[in-house]
Structure 1
């Protein structure tokens, strides 16, 4: 699939398998998601721009490379996207954070927006949108469109699991936005859940079911 990156690192795949197990506790699911998102962040930020600064080592002055973390925005699609944030922020603690609240109408499976808050100066920033599940793709596509309207410098979408249907929806709406995921599962069921999947990520993160 064009512009889809599956992160196959053994540690990512191992932790994903542990998260899929139905007997994984809320505590272990949340911890594993944090660890996995940290690992995925290394791949997602691989092409972040660097700049040269002058520093003093214990022995001499030198020119060295750093990232400008303040130019990065992590955007969480509420509520499950918040499970990704801590792990990503472990890698880039200076990143700004935006939130977009969307829920899926159970009848139409279409997204309904109820909250939107972003940092200022988005046109100067690189944006990574995070949501554990790319199922129908409707919420992801709507969120990406809202952010694209703010004309960020670059835009990526990161999820834990993706369904072929969700990837198709995203690529039809936003073919230029790269998708990063740990796995592409088989299909969606009649209710829009990913199969074999791992259940409802939000419920498993927050223990609400």
Structure 2
């Protein structure tokens, strides 16, 4: 674990991740597990959000109590698999603003190609959490962060389910100011750019399109 990379080793999260890795886990169960894991990951990625104090009335007394400071968070889903993490994070932060970055990986070059970009206004004043289950080569993730910075984002965090060393290195090289929060750092990529041992294609398993 480094300042750039946080691996969330909570036993409950790791147990659920093991179930997701198993190839015979059904689509509906896979989707539900991803939602549950995203709750636990969201707890970690929001650990140091800025807070301020406000005066409230409890049923008994008046008190100074902490509340989130600043503009509402921006959650950015890197399509399409990012939507699986997005749903769970929104359960915990329902007031967050939501954006989408559409990138697909050219299977020949493994380079990202943009096809959609729609994000909330005033990103420069928001904590921005980009979500994508798999940090594999890191090319798509780095490209998505490039786009978010061009749109004004300054405080960005990247949330993923699994990461490969190659993807972590690529992100650190391209965006050393963006911390990565993940459930596991796997061994390596195969020659097709898939994470090993991994869990296969997260989007296909989530949406039943394999």
TM-score, structure 1 length as denominator? 0.97
> Is the CA contact 1:76–1:82 (under 8 Å) kept in the aligned structure 2?
yes
> Is the CA contact 1:41–1:91 (under 8 Å) kept in the aligned structure 2?
yes
> Is the CA contact 1:69–1:94 (under 8 Å) kept in the aligned structure 2?
no
Q: Which blocks of at least 5 consecutive residues in structure 2 are unaligned?
A: none
Equivalent residue runs for 1:44-63 within 5 Å: 44-63=45-64
Which segment is superposed worse, 109-118 or 63-72? 63-72
> Is the CA contact 1:158–1:179 (under 8 Å) kept in the aligned structure 2?
yes
| Counterpart secondary structure, 1:90 | helix
- Using the alignment, how far apart are the partners of 1:45 and 1:26 within structure 2? 28
| Counterpart secondary structure, 1:71 | coil
- Using the alignment, how far apart are the partners of 1:60 and 1:134 within structure 2? 48
> Is the CA contact 1:102–1:114 (under 8 Å) kept in the aligned structure 2?
yes
Deviation at 1:135, TM superposition (A): 0.4
- Using the alignment, how far apart are the partners of 1:138 and 1:23 within structure 2? 29
Provide the residue aligned with 2:23 in structure 1.
Answer: 22
> Is the CA contact 1:70–1:95 (under 8 Å) kept in the aligned structure 2?
no
Deviations 1:81-128 (A, max 9, x none): 000011111111111111000000010000000000011111110001
| Counterpart secondary structure, 1:18 | helix
Equivalent residue runs for 1:1-209 within 5 Å: 1-68=2-69, 70-209=71-210
TM-score, structure 2 length as denominator? 0.96
Deviation at 1:58, TM superposition (A): 1.0
- Using the alignment, how far apart are the partners of 1:121 and 1:148 within structure 2? 12
Q: Which blocks of at least 5 consecutive residues in structure 1 are unaligned?
A: none
- Using the alignment, how far apart are the partners of 1:118 and 1:170 within structure 2? 21
Q: Runs ≥4 in structure 1, deviation > 2 angstroms?
A: 68-71, 150-153
Structure 2 CA distance for partners of 1:68 and 1:90, relative to 1, 3 Å: farther
